[in-house]
């Protein structure tokens, strides 16, 4: 029995000849998906002028995309029991490419938004599958480094997105953003066709329709309610009604999942303290990233009055630092666990948030770059260790459930955080009472970063509760 346990800890659950080659198509898909998640932030002012759309409507290009991801994500566990790994990945990459082409050729805001929503389906399938497959095809003692690479993809893409978009907008057209996505996705599709192996087992379980409807209605109502607050106000009947519907439906949905023998989303994994803590830390961290990455490009363009190409260049150093820290933080978990890097990460992110709260329309470019770098040190430092800490608390089929739940809530929180930042941006502008647009916009950005700073404080306090390195996956060889 003891030898069997050690064997399970030494070897991967599924034997694959070339694990990293098998992961390549999903890594490319996840990179483009996350790149798409924040790359449009820097293009929003341009798109607003092109299609004559207000910021409250423009935010749907970001929140709508994340909303679809959040709706699709919970079904990945069920979908992976009905379709092979190859079928899911090939469909997801092809779907994303089609959505990117629709957005690239869009002649109206509505068509552009439809293309974005279609792209969200592909990302919603790829993201959790990447983590699930990694948990299966790599041995436990290598998961820290593997999750570090996955986190590098997820964290680097949002950080580098504004820079790439700024360069494209400065030299080409906003349409080329989506055409470049398509090229990358075609490359990923070729890897999926020629190198990806089937990992999951097809069992075709019963599909609970009530759970499907509850998930779609609950999560979409929640994100829609918060998003509408930026244009209708938090006390409007529409906003309060949608949020109330979301709460009722999600409570009923959660109760049903706990009673079903084969739930769509296995919420029982939240009984594991380490998973629960890791999941909440990842959600908070992602909320910090998405809210700040939504506010910063607009601050540079609308408050500091710098051109879009310059915005991308300003955000490049932070993106590079983000990549470096993401690569290192995964290995930190293997040696010292999650508590130290997560605690330091959230504290550093708090310092970066405070610096942005004190930024003004007259702040130097060096000041903004420094604040961004500090923020981009903190967030990835906390992300990968927290994620690995949570997922390492689970074993077997629970790993897939945990990955799906963590990614679902991450996207939902990201959409909500962006919507709240948008709402606070408008409130801050309204209370500034300044006729100078740059000054009033700066006031709005400050309100948005108050929320970001609040999230960092919550993350810091929660990181302090981590019990230490999860020993369930560790082995000692004598």
Q: Do 297 and 215 reside in the same domain of the chain? A: no
Q: Do 179 and 232 reside in the same domain of the chain? A: no
Q: Residue 335 domain-assigned?
A: yes
Q: Do 222 and 97 reside in the same domain of the chain? A: no
Angle at 293 between CA 287 and CA 297, to 5 degrees: 160
- Residue 195's contacts (CB-CB under 8 Å, 6 or more residues apart) are 18, 21, 22, 24, 25
The better pLDDT of the pair 169, 147 is held by 169
Q: What global pTM score does this model have?
A: 0.77
- Residue 15's contacts (CB-CB under 8 Å, 6 or more residues apart) are 137
Q: Do 36 and 124 reside in the same domain of the chain? A: yes
pLDDT at 198: 77
Alpha helices of 11-142 — where are they, by DSSP H?
A: 19-39, 44-51, 55-58, 60-72, 76-79, 85-104, 109-137
The closest alpha carbon to 68, from 413, 407, 411, 401, belongs to: 411
Residue at a domain's end among 261, 278, 296:
261
Count of Cβ atoms closer than 10 Å to residue 385 Cβ: 34
pLDDT one-digit tens code per residue, 347-386: 999 999 999 999 988 899 999 999 999 999 999 899 888 8
pLDDT at 474: 43
The better pLDDT of the pair 411, 24 is held by 24
Say yes or no to pLDDT of 73 above 60.
yes
Tell me which of 3-17, 154-168, 351-365 is least confident.
3-17
* DSSP for 319-362, written as a single string: HHHHHHHHHHHHHHHHHH-SHHHHHHHHHHHHHHHHHHHT--TT
Q: Residue 6 domain-assigned?
A: no
Q: Residue 386 domain-assigned?
A: yes
Residue 4 buriedness (CB in 10 A; 0-12 / 13-18 / 19+): exposed
Which position has the token pair 């092809």?
94
Q: Do 245 and 278 reside in the same domain of the chain? A: no
Q: Do 397 and 419 reside in the same domain of the chain? A: yes
The CATH number that applies at residue 61 is 1.20.1250.20
Structure tokens given for 30: 């996840």
pLDDT one-digit tens code per residue, 415-437: 788 888 888 888 888 887 777 88
Say yes or no to pLDDT of 321 above 50.
yes
pLDDT at 351: 96
pLDDT one-digit tens code per residue, 441-470: 889 899 999 999 999 999 999 999 987 554
pLDDT at 129: 82
| Number of domains composing the chain | 2
- What average pLDDT does this structure show over 79-90? 86
Say yes or no to pLDDT of 335 above 70.
yes
Q: Residue 226 domain-assigned?
A: yes
Q: Residue 43 domain-assigned?
A: yes
Distance of CA 168 to the CA centre of its chain: 23
Could you list the residue range(s) of the whole structural domain that residue 229 is in? 209-261
- What average pLDDT does this structure show over 249-260? 90
Q: Do 297 and 214 reside in the same domain of the chain? A: no
Residue 393 buriedness (CB in 10 A; 0-12 / 13-18 / 19+): buried
Q: Residue 2 domain-assigned?
A: no
pLDDT at 366: 94
Q: Do 322 and 388 reside in the same domain of the chain? A: yes
Q: Do 172 and 254 reside in the same domain of the chain? A: no
pLDDT one-digit tens code per residue, 34-71: 888 777 777 887 888 888 887 767 778 877 887 888 78
The closest alpha carbon to 301, from 419, 191, 437, 461, belongs to: 437
Q: Do 316 and 178 reside in the same domain of the chain? A: yes
Q: Do 130 and 231 reside in the same domain of the chain? A: no
The better pLDDT of the pair 471, 306 is held by 306
Q: Give me the torsion for CA of 153, 159, 163, 165, rounded to 10°.
A: 70
Residue at a domain's end among 220, 244, 261:
261
* DSSP for 199-248, written as a single string: -SPP--PPP-HHHHHHHHHHHHHHHHHHHHHHHH-TTSHHHHHHHHHHHH
Alpha carbons 76 and 257: distance in angstroms, whole number: 15
Say yes or no to pLDDT of 8 above 70.
no
Which position has the token pair 């770098």?
373
- Residue 125's contacts (CB-CB under 8 Å, 6 or more residues apart) are 72, 76, 79, 88, 89, 91, 92, 95
Q: Residue 5 domain-assigned?
A: no
Alpha carbons 436 and 311: distance in angstroms, whole number: 21
Q: Do 458 and 416 reside in the same domain of the chain? A: yes
pLDDT at 190: 92
Note the maximum CA span of the chain: 75
Q: Residue 133 domain-assigned?
A: yes
């Amino acid at each position: 029995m003891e030898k069997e346990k050690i064997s399970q800890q030494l070897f991967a659950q599924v034997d694959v000849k070339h694990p990293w080659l098998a992961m390549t198509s999903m890594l490319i898909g996840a990179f483009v998906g996350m790149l798409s998640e924040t790359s449009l932030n820097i293009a929003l002012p341009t798109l607003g002028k092109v299609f004559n759309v207000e910021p409250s409507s423009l935010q749907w290009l970001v929140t709508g995309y994340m909303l679809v991801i959040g709706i699709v994500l919970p079904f990945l566990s069920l979908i992976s029991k009905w379709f092979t790994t190859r079928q899911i990945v090939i469909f997801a990459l092809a779907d994303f490419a089609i959505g990117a082409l629709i957005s690239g050729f869009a002649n109206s805001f509505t068509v552009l938004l439809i293309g974005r929503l279609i792209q969200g389906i592909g990302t919603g399938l790829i993201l959790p599958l990447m983590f699930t497959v990694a948990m299966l095809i790599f041995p436990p003692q290598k998961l820290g480094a593997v999750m570090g690479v996955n986190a590098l993809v997820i964290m680097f893409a949002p950080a580098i997105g504004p820079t790439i978009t700024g360069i494209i907008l400065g030299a080409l057209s906003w349409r080329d953003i989506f055409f470049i996505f398509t090229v990358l996705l075609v490359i990923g599709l070729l890897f999926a066709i020629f190198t990806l192996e089937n990992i999951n087992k097809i069992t075709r379980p019963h599909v609970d329709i009530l759970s499907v409807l509850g998930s779609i209605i609950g999560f979409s109502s929640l994100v829609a309610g918060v998003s509408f607050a930026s244009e209708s106000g938090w006390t409007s009947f529409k906003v309060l009604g949608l949020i109330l519907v979301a709460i009722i439906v999600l409570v009923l949905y959660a109760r049903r999942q706990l009673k079903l023998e084969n739930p769509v989303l296995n919420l029982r994994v939240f009984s594991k303290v380490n998973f629960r803590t890791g999941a909440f830390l990842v959600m908070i961290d992602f909320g910090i990233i998405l809210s700040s990455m939504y506010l910063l490009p607009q601050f540079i363009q609308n408050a500091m009055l710098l051109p879009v190409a310059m915005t991308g260049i300003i955000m490049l150093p932070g993106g590079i630092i983000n990549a470096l820290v993401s690569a290192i933080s995964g290995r930190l978990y293997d040696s010292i666990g999650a508590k130290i890097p997560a605690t330091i990460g959230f504290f550093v992110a708090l310092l970066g948030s405070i610096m942005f709260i004190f930024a003004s329309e007259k702040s130097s470019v060096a000041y903004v770059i420094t604040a961004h770098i500090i923020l981009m040190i903190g967030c990835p430092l906390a992300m990968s260790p927290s994620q690995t800490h949570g997922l390492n608390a689970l074993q077997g089929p629970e790993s897939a459930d945990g990955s799906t739940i963590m990614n679902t809530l991450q996207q939902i929180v990201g959409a909500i955080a962006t919507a709240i930042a948008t709402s606070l941006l408008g409130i801050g502008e309204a209370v500034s009472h300044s006729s100078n647009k740059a000054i009033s916009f700066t006031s709005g950005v400050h309100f948005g970063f108050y929320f970001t700073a609040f999230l960092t404080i919550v993350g810091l306090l929660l990181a302090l509760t981590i019990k230490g390195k999860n020993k369930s996956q560790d082995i000692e060889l004598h």
